[in-house]
Amino acid sequence: MSTRSISDYALLADCRSAALVTSDGSVDWLCAPRFDSPAIFARLLDDDAGHWSICPAGPTEVTRRYVEGTLVLETTFRTSGGTVVLVDALALGRHERGHGIGAASPGVLLREATCAEGTVTLEMTYAPRPEFGLVRPLMEQVRGGLVARGGAHVLTLSAPVDLNVDRSTAHATVTLTAGQRLGFALHSSAGWETEPRCWSRRLIHRRIKDTIEGWRSWSREHARYEGPSQDQVAHSGRVLRALTFAPTGAIVAAATTSLPEEAGGERNWDYRYTWVRDASFALQALDSAACEKEEAAFFGFLAHAAATRLDRDSHLQIMYGVGGERDLSERSLPHLGGWRGSTPVRVGNDAWRQRQLDVYGELLDAAHQLCADTARQEYDTVTRTFLLDAAETAARRWQEPDQGIWEIRGPSRHFLHSKLMCWVALDRAIALASVLGAADRVGDWEQTRAQIRAAILTQGWNPDVGAFTQAFGDASLDASALTMPMVGFLSGDDPRVRATVNAIATHLTDTRGLVRRYTTSDGLPGGEGTFLLCTFWLAHALALTGQAAPAERVFEAAVQHANDVGLLAEEVDSGTGELVGNFPQAFSHIGLINAACAIRDCERGRSHGAVPG
């Protein structure tokens, strides 16, 4: 069982895979060669599931940061005898720059320790446990390092120190004096490939510098945003790029699986996949962070992965693997004790089987944003046909119940947000009609759009509650209603929008100023924390209603729960204030970017929103 705080982890990424590193220099999570690959180190989920630590012997004072403009981690250890700086990175491809980072990442974890002053004794423990701890590999010392074999991959560790091997774990102790430097590199290769050669200390140093410059070049090309929380917006843009699978453009929801919504609970899901529901808000955030090429790549991935002929018996899948895979069948890993005893640990996610009507709106809104943001005037025939089918399906099925945006595992219901996004689907399809070659469908779409609008305004509004509610005919609040002004269904100055925003701020907000998704039963045991995305939504919605000062207060309440290197999880435990849920969470960083932009626009006196159509 792992007990370390989630906030203690920092992210490394090469735009293909991800690692998490603790403040005391232990890599406790590494999936390679893809985000959704079986973990090589998984101490995040079980103490015996593998790690790689490098840290001084004895007491230390620790500070850390990302090297400016990068996701290269620098951890400084101060001891009674001296200071050592540990630099960690997942290597980018050689000389990769700007938008191209991640295209040729070699899948190598780089670690370099430099003694800045005095004398420091370092201890290293290397305990790879491939396939989430199932494999205890056989180790062989070779010139320049160590090779570990077992399972599907061969791991080659470049190490310039003598290693003591005890079964499937290697140890080393080395003393550095001021100016001395040690470089390590971990390569993962398929068992049938040629084993990589160990890297020299000089090559490792050069590749770290190259990776730093790669990230900085990307950051320089994405420095357009100016306004409140400029540094956080820029950093969140890098996090989104880090969570992007470069070969396809897919953005994973998070780098981890089974970090729970409640410590010790069962709400433990695998988030290393791409959700359609993230699409429109993700594209908005990418546009705000000046990531136009990433926008196009992400939408291109969605259009390719989701493309299918939709008929009366089929529906659009809500999520996909980073390579476009559809079967994401869920299974448990009973040999893992889970983070703070939160079991079962799951890989795969059975939510892919659910029916959610909101995805049609999110897909078509993404298409509409891409046209607006990139001046794109046409789609290929397959994409055009698919988008047409999506619009027609939304028009045909909007009156059906579904599981909703939060993937409720109970009975289907008539969720307001699902109806809202069907309205968005038709509204955006009408706007795209000329691009889609669908001028003849506009009349019917307009009629259905009006029907959906009338149903939302009459059945979604509860006069007794004084707000739009979770589902038709319901009295329960749901934070997803905050998106109504964001998607243009009603303007920010509409009294019903203001009343709904104020009701959510009053009844779904905890003492920390953070927002719960809902308070109704969802068919799952246990509870959950407050959602950072929903908190940013509240800040965003307050800005759209012209309430800049309250919006800033809510925004700051959310931002202060970022860890020391600016990373946000999915949720916050209301009782303890700890981060919970998968980490780092793309949707939380998307919400931060979009809320910051809305607050900036509100302060500059821009329109609070108009209603399309």
Helix (H) or strand (E) holding 214: helix 201-221
pLDDT at position 48 over 80 = yes
My answer on whether 393 and 503 are in the same domain is yes
Predicted pLDDT of residue 1? 67
Across 193-197, 381-385, 555-559, least confident range: 193-197
Structural domain including 575 reads: 222-603
My answer on whether 155 and 287 are in the same domain is no
Specify whether the backbone of 578 is left (phi greater than 0), alpha (psi in -120 to 50) or beta. beta
My answer on whether 13 and 40 are in the same domain is yes
Residues above pLDDT 90, as percent of the chain: 77
For 317-346, the pLDDT digits (tens) are: 889 999 999 999 999 999 999 999 999 999
Predicted pLDDT of residue 606? 66
Residue 613 domain-assigned (yes or no): no
pTM to 2 decimal places: 0.95
Return the C-alpha torsion angle 415, 417, 418, 419, nearest 10.
90
My answer on whether 240 and 215 are in the same domain is no
Beta carbons of 155 and 188 less than 8 angstroms apart: yes
Which own/partner contact pairs does 32-36 have at CB distance under 8 Å and 24+ positions apart? 32/107, 32/153, 32/188, 33/107, 33/188, 34/245, 34/322, 34/323, 35/243, 35/245, 35/252, 35/255, 35/272, 35/322, 36/252, 36/270, 36/272, 36/273, 36/321, 36/322
Could you count the other beta carbons within 10 Å of the beta carbon of residue 253?
24
My answer on whether 121 and 154 are in the same domain is yes
My answer on whether 424 and 446 are in the same domain is yes
Predicted pLDDT of residue 31? 97
pLDDT at position 447 over 80 = yes
Predicted pLDDT of residue 410? 76
Predicted pLDDT of residue 375? 58
My answer on whether 255 and 288 are in the same domain is yes
pLDDT at position 297 over 90 = no
Report CA-CA distances (Å) from 285 to 68, 240, 250, 402, 594.
Answer: 21, 9, 15, 27, 6
Beta strands in 459-602 (DSSP E): 461-462, 467-468, 530-531, 571-572, 579-580
Task: Mark which of 163, 189, 219 sits at the end of a domain.
Answer: 219
Residue bearing the bigger pLDDT, 197 or 311:
197
Split into its structural domains, the chain has a count of: 2
My answer on whether 101 and 159 are in the same domain is yes
For 149-206, the pLDDT digits (tens) are: 998 889 999 999 999 999 999 999 999 999 999 999 999 987 666 777 899 999 999 9
Beta carbons of 346 and 270 less than 8 angstroms apart: yes
Residue 176 domain-assigned (yes or no): yes
Residue 531, both tokens: 């959602």
Residues above pLDDT 70, as percent of the chain: 95
Residue 76, both tokens: 């400084």
My answer on whether 244 and 159 are in the same domain is no
Closest alpha carbon to 50 in 34, 18, 27: 27
Report the CATH number that the domain containing residue 167 is assigned in CATH.
2.70.98
Beta carbons of 285 and 595 less than 8 angstroms apart: no
pLDDT at position 611 over 50 = no
| CB neighbour burial string for 510-535, b if at least 16 within 10 angstroms, e if fewer | bebbbbbbbebebeeeeebbbbbbbb
Residue 1 domain-assigned (yes or no): no
pLDDT at position 423 over 90 = yes
Rg of the Cα atoms in the chain: 25
Dist. CA 485–CA 608, nearest whole Å: 8
Closest alpha carbon to 88 in 118, 117, 67: 67
Task: Mark which of 186, 219, 252 sits at the end of a domain.
Answer: 219
Residue 610 domain-assigned (yes or no): no
Residue 141 domain-assigned (yes or no): yes
Report CA-CA distances (Å) from 229 to 32, 236, 454, 566, 594.
Answer: 33, 11, 38, 12, 11
Instruction: Give the position of tokens 């916050």.
Output: 572
Averaged pLDDT for residues 15-25: 97
Task: Mark which of 219, 248, 277 sits at the end of a domain.
Answer: 219
How are beta strands 61-66 and 18-21 bridged, if at all?
unpaired
Predicted pLDDT of residue 374? 58
My answer on whether 226 and 296 are in the same domain is yes
- Average pLDDT over the chain reads 92
Residue 254 domain-assigned (yes or no): yes
Closest alpha carbon to 185 in 157, 143, 144: 157
My answer on whether 188 and 246 are in the same domain is no
pLDDT at position 52 over 50 = yes
Report the CATH number that the domain containing residue 404 is assigned in CATH.
1.50.10.10
Beta carbons of 322 and 245 less than 8 angstroms apart: yes
Residue 347 domain-assigned (yes or no): yes
Dist. CA 200–CA 543, nearest whole Å: 53
Across 112-121, 127-136, 364-373, least confident range: 364-373
Residue 43 domain-assigned (yes or no): yes
My answer on whether 301 and 386 are in the same domain is yes
Predicted pLDDT of residue 608? 42
Beta strands in 16-107 (DSSP E): 18-21, 26-31, 39-41, 51-56, 61-66, 73-78, 82-90
Predicted pLDDT of residue 610? 41
Across 266-275, 405-414, 438-447, 593-602, least confident range: 405-414
